[in-house]
């Protein structure tokens, strides 16, 4: 009878396997493509393409180039044309007639053209400085979100490993309970360990989802199927983490403040040369007659209009521009001190977490060895379940500490690069 049942079951399995193999639906079923690994540099470039400074850079460059062309022109502004007619008898062709046709153009004030040209050059430099500083600010937010995601992924992987280990232990305890080697209390304790691991996995999944959403908000794409490029992949460590003497030129945040401060000073210099409105030169031709029937006489008019000084208005512009320059200069000094302190602090943190990593990896290695010993002794009945669970929890905690330490080292390297003004790689 048992042989007949086994034969019938074998026939059913073979038939189901054959149907699965020859089914055309199984051929046409699309297979999901594996998600491409996402790198920090790739996420940064994707996020930068969505930023407003990236969209406005070309327009700002056009504006700066237009300011340069305006400073290179011969006149301080566009020329204007004028046409006037004068008569002493409106509505009649008799009487006097006079027609003026002229062109006027504003002239540069002394030193105004040169200062306007220098200001336009500074504005052109400020465009790239603003963009570089905006990219650095974005990299700070992206690095924070990226490493939070990396930590969440690592915590989720550890929680999954812990659940698999708890299930294996529970299966072993269940087998021994059926054999009468352990009590029901031990079985319940093992099942409680599985439930605890399931709760930890659910918490890790929730944290991973939150970290993914925070990163997705920056890169503008869904990360449901995305995976990190590696469990913990650190950025390249800077070869020389010592701040250079020309930090204002190499660090984007300081370079932006430096060029903005210079721009404000040149705005003040230009305002100092614009204490009055621009004078105008006028060239006109006049056609006039004394009475009806007389021929028109033509004459040329050359003139210059010189306005009076602007007085308090010009002084207000100059004082405002100088106040902006002084404020940016003071802000540059404070920012330089902050950057230097941030670099020094990042170097110290990197050294500290490296020492922690060495100790954590040594502890994890020892915990794995001890867990292996107690796994064998528990199977042989030489150790009890509470000791086995305690050793398992210590091994899980040691592995978690080592994983966090590796993530802390990668985060510290990234923070040092951020302090030095380096973009993600």
Evaluate if residue 377 carries a pLDDT over 90: no
* Residue 355 pLDDT: 93
Helix axes 40-48, 184-219, angle to 10 degrees: 40
Mean residue pLDDT of the chain comes to 82
Cα-Cα end-to-end distance for the chain: 69
Of residues 390 and 137, more confidently modeled: 137
pLDDT for 383 beyond 80: no
Q: Give me the pLDDT at residue 33, please.
A: 38
| Mean pLDDT value across residues 287-313 | 81
Q: Quote the pLDDT of residue 130.
A: 93
Confidence of residue 14 (pLDDT cuts 50, 70, 90): very low
Residue-level pLDDT at 225: 57
Residue-wise pLDDT for 112-156, tens only, equals 889 999 999 999 999 999 999 999 999 999 999 999 999 999 899
Highest mean pLDDT among 2-6, 247-251, 364-368: 364-368
- For residues 242 and 107, which has the higher predicted lDDT (pLDDT)? 107
Helices then strands, counting H and E runs in the chain, come out as: 10, 6
Integer Cα distance of 43 and 423 in angstroms: 12
Average pLDDT, integer, range 338-362: 92
| Higher pLDDT pick, 242 / 175 | 175
Q: Per-residue pLDDT for 224 more than 70?
A: no
Closest CA to 138 of 228, 32, 53, 11: 53
Contacts of 233 (CB under 8 A, 6+ apart): 39, 40, 410
Mean pLDDT over residues 321-341, rounded? 91
Bigger pLDDT: 308 vs 320: 320
Question: What is residue 405's predicted lDDT score, i.e. its pLDDT?
Answer: 92
How far apart, in whole angstroms, are the C-alpha atoms of residue 401 and residue 356?
9
- Compute the average pLDDT of residues 89-115: 84
pLDDT at 416 over 70: yes
Average pLDDT over residues 200-225: 87
Quote the CA–CA distance of 364 and 24 in Å, as a whole number: 50
Residue 19 has pLDDT above 90, yes or no: no
The pLDDT-based confidence of 412 (bands split at 50, 70, 90) is: very high
Give the model's pLDDT for residue 17. Answer: 42
Q: At residue 25, does pLDDT exceed 70?
A: no
- Tell me the C-alpha distance between 336 and 184, whole Å: 67
Residue 321: the pLDDT is 86
Is 7's pLDDT higher than 70?
A: no
For the residues 355-382, what does the mean pLDDT come to?
Answer: 87
Segment 37-44 shows an average pLDDT of: 84
Q: Which two tokens stand for residue 43?
A: 């996420």
Give Cβ neighbours of residue 119 (< 8 Å, ≥ 6 apart): 67, 71, 263, 266, 267, 269, 270
Give buried/exposed letters for 205-216 (b at 16+ CB in 10 A, else e): eebbeebbebbb
Q: What is the pLDDT of residue 327?
A: 92
Residue with the bigger pLDDT between 127 and 77: it is: 127
- The interaxial angle of helices 385-420 and 184-219, nearest 10 deg, is 10
Check residue 226 and give its pLDDT: 57
DSSP string, 128-141: HHHHHHHHHHHHHH
């Amino acid at each position: 009878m048992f042989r007949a049942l086994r034969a019938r079951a074998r026939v059913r399995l073979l038939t189901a396997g054959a149907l699965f193999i020859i089914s055309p639906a199984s051929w046409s079923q699309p297979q999901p493509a594996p998600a491409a690994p996402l790198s920090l540099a790739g996420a940064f470039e994707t996020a930068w393409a969505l930023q407003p400074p990236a969209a406005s850079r070309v327009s700002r460059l056009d504006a700066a180039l237009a300011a340069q062309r305006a400073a290179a022109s011969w006149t301080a502004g566009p020329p204007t044309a004028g046409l006037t007619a004068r008569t002493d008898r409106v509505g009649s062709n008799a009487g006097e007639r006079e027609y003026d046709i002229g062109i006027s153009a504003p002239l540069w004030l002394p030193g105004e053209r040169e200062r306007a040209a220098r200001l336009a050059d500074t504005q052109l430099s400020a465009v790239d400085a603003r963009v570089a500083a905006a990219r650095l600010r974005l990299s700070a937010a992206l690095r924070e979100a990226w490493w939070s995601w990396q930590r969440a992924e690592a915590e989720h992987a550890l929680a999954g490993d812990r659940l698999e280990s708890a299930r294996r232990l529970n299966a072993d305890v269940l087998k021994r309970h059926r054999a009468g080697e352990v009590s029901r209390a031990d079985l319940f304790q093992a099942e409680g360990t599985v439930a605890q691991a399931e709760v930890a996995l659910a918490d890790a999944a929730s944290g991973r989802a939150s970290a993914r959403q925070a990163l997705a908000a920056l890169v503008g794409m869904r990360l449901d199927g995305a995976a990190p490029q590696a469990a913990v992949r650190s950025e390249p460590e800077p070869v020389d983490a010592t701040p250079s003497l020309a930090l204002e030129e190499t660090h984007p945040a300081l370079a932006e403040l430096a060029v903005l401060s210079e721009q404000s000073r040149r705005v003040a210099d230009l305002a100092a040369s614009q204490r009055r409105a621009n004078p105008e030169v006028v060239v006109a031709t006049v056609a006039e007659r004394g009475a009806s029937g007389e021929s028109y006489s033509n004459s040329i008019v050359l003139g210059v209009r010189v306005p009076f000084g602007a007085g308090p208005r010009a002084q207000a512009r100059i004082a405002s521009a100088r106040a902006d320059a002084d404020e940016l200069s003071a802000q540059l000094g404070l920012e330089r001190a902050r950057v230097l302190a941030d670099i020094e602090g990042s170097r110290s943190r990197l050294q500290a977490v490296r020492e922690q990593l060495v100790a954590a990896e040594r502890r994890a290695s020892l915990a794995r060895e001890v867990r292996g010993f107690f796994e064998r002794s528990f199977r042989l009945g030489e150790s009890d379940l509470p000791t086995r669970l305690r050793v398992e929890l210590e091994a899980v905690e040691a592995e978690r500490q080592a994983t966090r330490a590796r993530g802390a080292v990668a985060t510290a390297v990234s923070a040092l690069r951020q302090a030095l003004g380096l973009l993600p790689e």
